[in-house]
Structure 1
Amino acid sequence: MEGQSPMVLKEIEVTKSSLEGKINLILRLCGLVLTLVAATVIATDKQTTVIPIKLTDSLPPLDVPVTAKWQYMSAYVYFVVANVIACAYATLSFIIALANGHKSKLLVTLVTLLDAIMVALLFSCNGAALAIGVLAKHGNSHVRWNKVCHVFDKFCNQVAASCLISLLGSLVFILLVVLPALRLHRRT
Structure 2
Amino acid sequence: MKRDQDTLKNAHKKYIRAHALFRLLAGVATLAAALVMGFNKETSIIAGYEFVVTYNRYPAFEFFLAGNAIACGYSMVSLPFVSNLVEGYILGVLDLLSLVLATAAASAGTAIGHLGKEGNDEVGWPQVCSFFEKFCQRAAISLVCSYVGILLFLIICALSSVYKTRQSNKGRILGPQPTATTKE
TM-score by length of 1: 0.86
Residue 85 of structure 2 contacts residue 91 of structure 2 at CA under 8 Å; is this kept in 1? no
* Unmatched segments (≥5 aa) in structure 2: 170-184
Residue 21 of structure 1 contacts residue 101 of structure 1 at CA under 8 Å; is this kept in 2? no
Q: Which residue of 1 aligns with 2:45?
A: 50
Percent of aligned pairs with the same residue? Answer: 28
1:95 Cα shift?
1.7
1:185 Cα shift?
2.7
| Separation in 2, partners of 1:174, 1:96 | 19
Q: Which residue of 2 aligns with 1:155?
A: 135
> Does structure 1 residue 82 correspond to structure 2 residue 67?
yes
1:97 Cα shift?
1.5
Q: CA RMSD in A?
A: 1.1
**TM superposition outliers: structure 1 runs of 4+ over 3 Å:** none
| Separation in 2, partners of 1:165, 1:75 | 17
> Does structure 1 residue 129 correspond to structure 2 residue 114?
no
| Separation in 2, partners of 1:11, 1:91 | 30
User: How many residues align structurally?
Assistant: 168
Superposed counterparts of 1:74-113, under 5 Å: 74-97=59-82, 100=84, 102=86, 105-106=87-88, 109-113=89-93
Q: 1:114-154 CA deviation, whole Å, 9 max, x = no partner? A: 00001110111111110001110010011010000010000
> Does structure 1 residue 175 correspond to structure 2 residue 170?
no
Instruction: From 27, 46, 51, give the equivalent of 1:66.
Output: 51
| Separation in 2, partners of 1:10, 1:97 | 21
1:72 Cα shift?
0.3
1:180 Cα shift?
1.6
| Separation in 2, partners of 1:38, 1:90 | 14
Q: 1:61-98 CA deviation, whole Å, 9 max, x = no partner? A: xx111111101000000001111111110011102115
Q: Which residue of 2 aligns with 1:25?
A: 20
Q: Which residue of 2 aligns with 1:60?
A: none
Residue 36 of structure 2 contacts residue 142 of structure 2 at CA under 8 Å; is this kept in 1? yes
